[in-house]
Amino acid sequence: MTQIATFQIGASEVDELIMLINDYSGYDFSDYSMPSLHRRFQRYIDLNKISDFKQLLQDLMNDSSMINNLIEEITVNVTEIFRDPTFFATIRSELVPTLNKLPLIKIWHAGCATGEEVYSMAILLKEHNLLNKSIIYATDINQSVLDTARLGKYSIESFQENEINYRDSEGTNKLSDYYSVSNGEILINEDLKSNIIFSTHNLVSDSAFNHFDLIICRNVLIYFNKVLQDNVLQMFYNSLNENGILAIGSKETIMFSPIENRMQTLNAKWKIWKKKV
């Protein structure tokens, strides 16, 4: 069988795809990291065995489902239950005492992907008797991954593999206490969903929509260029309550951003800051 040779995308083709996506969907990826977009586009081309760029453009213009699939390739981020368990252990030890003093806890998980980290936070809050007085807003640009998150249904293999993450996060029970198993799939317990609101939100174009005590946006900013990073960080700052807390990814930073001097470092390793009064 003859193997189809895919083409290697260049900078000009990346620019054309960005413009086409914007024209046909309204999503503007021009301020995303160019190396990241290049990798994502190339992956889409290779997976779909596309050999002709002009034909790809024509197909995208004629088939909205292809546009949606390409957007999903750009926006889907890898996540898992209690990813970076020490991060969650840090929340338990350093943030829970502060959150416990609040009458109502409002949390924003920005770029929540398929929801595993949102449910990790719900489990953590439940174990500290805080879930009932918490509202968690979980947002993402990608409707498909939000549907997965809202459903709370995952492969059983992924949860079994992440049992160790839960233990290392200093969980006080068993991870299996928080889900049931049906037809080889994990179903998150309904009580964990009751205080979570899943909604689409585009960090590139949408504005702040509430004020929060804790904003978590991990490993999303790395896909943006500096201008967009600064804009998003400013929006997060505007969205924080007095003494509100911001947590981003371990490879991300607020240094040299407009909000750097208006935030106090709480944990340098896990990139957690508090809004200065």
Pick the closest to residue 34 from 252, 222, 234 (CA basis): 222
| Chain length of the chain | 277
pLDDT at 3: 55
Categorize the per-residue pLDDT at 57 as very low, low, confident or very high, splitting at 50, 70 and 90. Answer: very high
Residue 186: both structure tokens together? 């994990």
**Is 137 within 8 Å of 143 (Cβ atoms)?**
no
Q: Which CATH number is associated with domain 85-275?
A: 3.40.50.150
Q: What is the largest CA-CA distance in the chain?
A: 67
Tell me how far apart the alpha carbons of residues 229 and 217 are, in angstroms, rounded to a whole number: 12
Tell me how far apart the alpha carbons of residues 98 and 243 are, in angstroms, rounded to a whole number: 10
Over 80: is that where the pLDDT of 35 sits?
A: yes
Question: Which runs of E-coded beta strand occur in the chain?
Answer: 105-110, 134-140, 153-155, 179-182, 185-188, 196-200, 212-217, 240-248, 263-267, 272-275
Amino acid at 121: M
**Is 75 within 8 Å of 140 (Cβ atoms)?**
yes
Q: What pLDDT, in 10s, does the model give residues 201-246?
A: 999 999 999 999 999 999 999 999 999 999 999 999 999 999 999 9
Tell me how far apart the alpha carbons of residues 110 and 118 are, in angstroms, rounded to a whole number: 10
**Is 270 within 8 Å of 250 (Cβ atoms)?**
yes
Over 60: is that where the pLDDT of 79 sits?
A: yes
Pick the closest to residue 142 from 214, 211, 195, 67 (CA basis): 67
The percentage of residues in the chain with a pLDDT greater than 70, rounded to a whole number, is: 98
Q: What pLDDT, in 10s, does the model give residues 138-168?
A: 999 998 899 999 999 999 887 877 899 999 9
Q: Which of 46-50, 62-66, 168-172 has the highest mean pLDDT?
A: 168-172
Average pLDDT, the chain: 93
Task: Provide CATH 3.40.50.150 ranges for the chain.
Answer: 85-275
Tell me how far apart the alpha carbons of residues 218 and 107 are, in angstroms, rounded to a whole number: 14
Rg (CA), the chain: 20
The percentage of residues in the chain with a pLDDT greater than 90, rounded to a whole number, is: 84
pLDDT at 2: 46
- Residues 6 or more apart whose Cβ sits within 8 Å of residue 224: 31, 32, 33, 203, 232
Over 80: is that where the pLDDT of 132 sits?
A: yes
